[in-house]
Amino acid sequence: MHKTDSSHAEAIPLAELQAIDAYWRACNYLAAGMIYLQDNPLLREPLEVRHLKKRLLGHWGASPGLSFMYVHMNRLINKYDLPAIFLAGPGHGAPGVLAPVYLEGTYSETYPDISQDERGMQGLFKQFSFPGGIGSHCTPELPGSIHEGGELGYSLSHATGAAFDNPDLICVVAVGDGEAETGPLATSWHSSKFLNPIRDGAVLPILHLNGYKINNPTLLSRIPHAELEALFRGYGWKPYFVEGDDPMDMHRSMAATMQACVEEIRTLQREARESGKAQRQIWPMIVLRTPKGWTCPGEVDGNKIEGFWRAHQVPLTMVHSNPEHLRILEQWLRSYRPEELFTQDGQLVPALQALAPQGERRMSASRHTNGGLLKRNLRMPDFREYALDVSRPATSSAMNTKPLGAMLRDIMRLNGHNFRVFGPDENTSNKLDAIYEVSKKLWLADYLPEDENGGELSPDGRVLEMLSEHTLEGWLEGYLLTGRHGFLATYEAFVHVIDSMVNQHAKWLTIAAKLPWRAPIASLNLLITSTVWRQDHNGFSHQDPGFLDLVVNKNPLVTRIYLPPDVNCLLSTADHCLRSHNNINVIVCDKQSHIQYLDMESAIAHCTKGLGIWRWASNDMGEEPDVVMVGCGDIPTKEALAATVLLREAFPLLKIRFINVVDLFRLSPERDHPHGLSDSDFDSLFTTDKPVIFNFHGYPWLIHRLAYRRKNHANLHVRGYVEHGNINTPLELAIDNRIDRFSLAIEVISRVPGLSVAGAHAKQRFLDQQIACRQYAHTYGIDDPAVSDWVWPYD
């Protein structure tokens, strides 16, 4: 394989290419050193087993290619004084990024202990993928990283999110050909259709076609050239090809091609900006085909290594026991000629140092990659202005998410290029459409006449909608990581599509928060709506409230879960979340019309506490109650309230305390979560010995998981979704899962000592009412309004 594409070549002086090659050799030397050496970092002595790490860990395969891209981008940063950042999709090749980051000085500035000398180099080598050291991916510890690349698939969407509203920035993103097989990556190529050439920066993807994954060829490396080219043209990019294995040929081709791409990007941007017309552009991208593990030994013991999957991790593994392999390793390391590259005391020679960009032009030192430094707090309207007038609790209804749409609209208005809203084509369905009054949906592709009436599309839109939760989440993460703010609303059942991404972001935030040099970034705000209880015609497949079970397992410093029961609580919660940082805020609130409980001042007080007794709904009058009824979530709260009314009518002397929970982690012990309630506070609210009937939005066991150490846990009876569902009216679904008022009232009757005998008659009446409700639904297709249009009957 020697093919290179020189059609874009310009005459780049040989000396310059040789210097780039030397810089690249220095990178490769360091990358190999990280994997193998714990001593003798400059190979001053013949290599011996004692110089080697006892355990060889790390991925060599992608490293040389990553360094290759990095050093070539450096040339263009200097040439054009470009602001740029670098994302390594195959983050497993971290040595290939760590190396140039170290060589350009940023690493030592961040971690002075890893100095730019022999001792520092030895430290760099030793700590890599070493217990107590640093990871083998582009983790948060790596200056310049906003993308760990441990889990594959999100590099291109992260890069795109970083480019939004950064008109001068070029985000160079290495996409591994393994990663390219994942679904999230495969659809994220469409991201280019959402890059506005006037107000956004550019993404320059480099598909790294090194041919192999762990043990297999990659699909894209084994299809005909014409197919590969068609694929990227079809995705809407203009592909350039740089292919080969001879370093100098490849330097020549890569230098010319990257330069052509950068110039093309700048031309497209300039033309759009001069014309003022934002249109979709066919942006350039590069296919870089190199051998896997490029420059490592070609063949050992008759087994092909360079250019084959065997180069994926550690190319030579028997070096401790096989002297011949040790010799090959030494030969390999010396092939980079470290003596030419480093001074006697282990510094990069000055001629090479001069190749790196300076100061914040270094991709590793770009403030965009430490977005908290650039973060400006959102300018927030007063959320009270969107308040719903609730003169008496639980007597009127409204769509919970609609006023939030108005609030988001005004946040959008106030925050120019600092805020975006994301959604999988559901913002209207989710009743957030007020936002379109200020900002339409971004659309740069073709327009049709009918878009005029109801399309809500605009090339300047700041609402991003695509039917890929993966891409949206990736864009949002990239946007937040580079210092901006955002909001993503999505259907509850399908937020599971991004389980793994949210896991990874939580892990990133957990580590980043421990690094003093990383400034806090805006929180990831997820509104989970179209919830399990209102899937009237979508049925069983759309019923899954289990995302919360995933979130609670992540680090408590990061995770927050809120279930505001009504409009005013949602507004207060959203205001809090949008002002927070370094959190993952999950807000669960349905979009349909729901009964309203609290006026704004009560809502603020309630949300500030996170949970509390609703005096107006309780009749324990400050005394010890006979039973505690709890609602958590919109519909469960309504049903729990309706149950208290049924019970008060049937048992006028029964003392019921009503509690609503907004902030789920208040249920945790305070040692487990910063929002956890003290045991004494918990006991005084939930009592230590009275039955607690807890009506929960999600899977019921989650409440036990949070509260199992509380004194009164044995009396805690939780109701929630238990996977009973089909095409149901809301009330029927509630009955099937026993979160309805009748089931709750029956539960109370059987739990409160002394009630069960007296209550036998009431219990039968409630059972009859359940049957009647179901019959009504099966006859008319809707709930009996006499039951569903329930309001709180007392003053």
User: Could you say which residues in the range 52-81 bind a second copy, by CB under 8 A?
Assistant: 53-55, 57-58
Q: Which is nearer to a second copy, 21 or 451 (CB)?
A: 451
Shortest approach of a second copy to residue 322 CB, angstroms?
Answer: 19
Residue from 555, 580, 756, 788 in contact with a second copy (CB under 8 A): 555
**Which one of 49, 248, 351, 445 is in contact with a second copy (CB under 8 A)?**
445
| CA–CA distance, 591 with 575 (Å, rounded to integer) | 18
Q: Is 666 in the site for a second copy (CB under 8 A)?
A: no
Choice from 167, 217, 381, 669 touching a second copy (CB under 8 A): 217
Residue number with CB closer to a second copy (730 or 759) = 730
State the minimum distance, in angstroms, from the CB of residue 507 to a second copy: 5
Only one residue has tokens 């990553």, namely 66
Q: Taking the complex as a whole, how short is the minimal distance between the CB of residue 204 and a second copy, in angstroms?
A: 20
Nearer to a second copy, 451 or 681 (CB): 451
Distance from the first to the final alpha carbon of the chain: 83
CB of 468 to a second copy, least distance (A): 5
Restricting to residues 290-349, which ones interact with a second copy according to CB under 8 A? 302-304, 307-310
Q: Which positions ≥6 away from 246 have C-beta within 8 Å?
A: 2
Minimum distance, C-beta of residue 360 to a second copy, in the bound complex (Å): 28
Residue from 202, 198, 128, 116 nearest 159 by CA: 202
Interface with a second copy (CB under 8 A), residue total: 130
CA distance 644 to 667: 22
Among 240, 682, 699, 792, contact with a second copy (rule: CB under 8 A): 699
Asked if 593 is part of the footprint of a second copy (rule: CB under 8 A), the reply reads no
Q: Is residue 549 at the binding interface for a second copy, with CB under 8 A as the rule?
A: yes
Quote the tokens at residue 409: 């609209």
Please identify which residue in the block is written with the tokens 């309004």.
785
- Which of 240-248, 250-258, 636-644, 779-787 is the region at the interface with a second copy (rule: CB under 8 A)? 779-787
What residues contact residue 630 under an 8 Å CB cut-off, 6+ apart? 640, 658, 659, 660, 661, 686, 692, 693, 694, 695
Under the binding rule (CB under 8 A), the answer on residue 520 touching a second copy is: no
Per-residue contact string for residues 405-434; x = within reach of a second copy by CB under 8 A: --------------------xxxxx-----
Residue 674's φ and ψ, nearest 5 degrees, are: -60, -25
User: What contacts 223, CB < 8 A, 6 or more positions away?
Assistant: none
Distance of closest approach, residue 686 Cβ to a second copy, in angstroms: 16
The one segment of 178-186, 394-402, 738-746, 750-758 that binds a second copy by CB under 8 A:
178-186
| CA dist list (Å): 665 to 167, 674, 695 | 40, 8, 16
Binding of residue 622 to a second copy (CB under 8 A):
no
The single-letter DSSP state of residue 626 is S
**Binding segment toward a second copy, per CB under 8 A, in 41-49, 134-142, 574-582, 606-614:** 134-142
Report how far apart, in Å, the C-alpha atoms of 282 and of each of 162, 234, 235, 263, 706 are: 19, 10, 9, 14, 51
> Would you count residue 670 as binding a second copy (CB under 8 A)?
no
What is the rounded CA–CA span in Å between residue 438 and residue 447?
A: 20
**CB of 404 vs a second copy, minimal distance in Å:** 18
The first and second tokens of residue 116, run together, are 């730019």
* CB closer to a second copy out of 509 and 587: 509
- The answer to the question of residue 727 lying near a second copy (CB under 8 A) is yes
Residue 429 CB burial class (10 angstroms; 0-12, 13-18, ≥19): middle
Contact indicator for 599, 664 with CB cutoff of 8 Å: no
The residue assigned the tokens 């999988």 is 424
By the rule CB under 8 A, 205 interacts with a second copy: no
Stretch that binds a second copy, among 174-182, 357-365, 401-409, 582-590 (CB under 8 A): 174-182
Binding residue (CB under 8 A) for a second copy from 14, 49, 214, 605: 214
Q: CB-side exposure of 129: number of CA atoms within 13 Å? A: 26
Give the whole-angstrom CA distance, residue 25 versus residue 340: 10
C-alpha torsion angle, residues 683, 687, 689, 690 (rounded to 10): -150
Q: Does 453 bind a second copy (CB under 8 A)?
A: yes
Among 168, 246, 723, 768, binds a second copy (CB under 8 A): 723
Give the one residue of 67, 471, 490, 618 binding a second copy; rule: CB under 8 A.
471
Q: List all residues 6 or more positions away from 593 whose beta carbon is below 8 Å from its beta carbon.
A: 397, 398, 399
Separation between Cα atoms, residue 464 and residue 634, nearest integer Å: 28
Could you give the CA distance from residue 497 to residue 767 in angstroms, rounded to a whole number?
Answer: 38
Phi-psi sector, 160: left (phi>0), alpha (psi -120 to 50), beta? alpha
Q: Which is nearer to a second copy, 211 or 631 (CB)?
A: 211
Indicate whether 184 belongs to the interface with a second copy (CB under 8 A). yes
Q: Which amino acid is at 697?
A: H
- The least CB distance from residue 781 to a second copy, in Å, is 5
> Rounded to an integer, what distance in angstroms lies between the CA atom of residue 192 and that of residue 171?
12
Q: Strands 485-491, 524-529: parallel, antiparallel or unpaired by DSSP? A: parallel
Cβ proximity to a second copy: between 80 and 701 the closer is: 701
Query: Do 109 and 186 form a contact (C-beta atoms < 8 A)?
Result: no
Query: To the nearest whole angstrom, how small is the minimum distance from the Cβ of residue 541 to a second copy?
Result: 3
Give residues 70-129 in contact with a second copy (rule: CB under 8 A). 129
Q: Please report the DSSP string for 575-612 in residue order.
A: HHHHH-BS-EEEEE--SSEEEE---HHHHHHHHHHSEE
Nearer to a second copy, 9 or 550 (CB): 550
Q: Which of residues 492-511 bind a second copy (CB under 8 A)?
A: 493-494, 496-497, 499-500, 503-504, 507, 510-511
758 is an interface residue for a second copy by CB under 8 A: no
CB of 507 or CB of 655, closer to a second copy: 507
- H or E element in which residue 398 lies: strand 396-399
Establish if 795 lies at the interface with a second copy (CB under 8 A). Answer: no
225 lies in the binding site for a second copy (CB under 8 A): no
> Can residue 264 be called a binding residue for a second copy (CB under 8 A)?
no
Select the span of 219-227, 370-378, 604-612, 756-764 touching a second copy (CB under 8 A). Answer: 219-227
Shortest Å, Cβ 340 to a second copy: 30
| Sign of the dihedral through C-alpha 605, 606, 612, 615 | positive
The residues facing 490 across adjacent strands are 528
- Name the percent of the chain in helix, strand, coil, to the closest 5: 45, 15, 40
Q: What is the DSSP letter of 142?
A: S
Contact region for a second copy (CB under 8 A) — 230-238, 252-260, 679-687, 761-769? 230-238
Taking the complex as a whole, the smallest distance from the CB of residue 692 to a second copy amounts, in Å, to 14
Q: Which is nearer to a second copy, 176 or 631 (CB)?
A: 176
Nearer to a second copy, 270 or 709 (CB): 709
Contact 241, 233 (CB under 8 A): no
Position 190 contacts a second copy (CB under 8 A): yes
Q: How many CB atoms lie within 10 A of CB 178?
A: 27
Closest to a second copy by CB, 360 or 499 = 499
Segment near a second copy (CB under 8 A), from 176-184, 328-336, 386-394, 689-697?
176-184
467 binds a second copy (CB under 8 A): yes
Amino acid at site 686: F
Q: Residue 194 or residue 342: which is nearer to a second copy going by CB?
A: 194
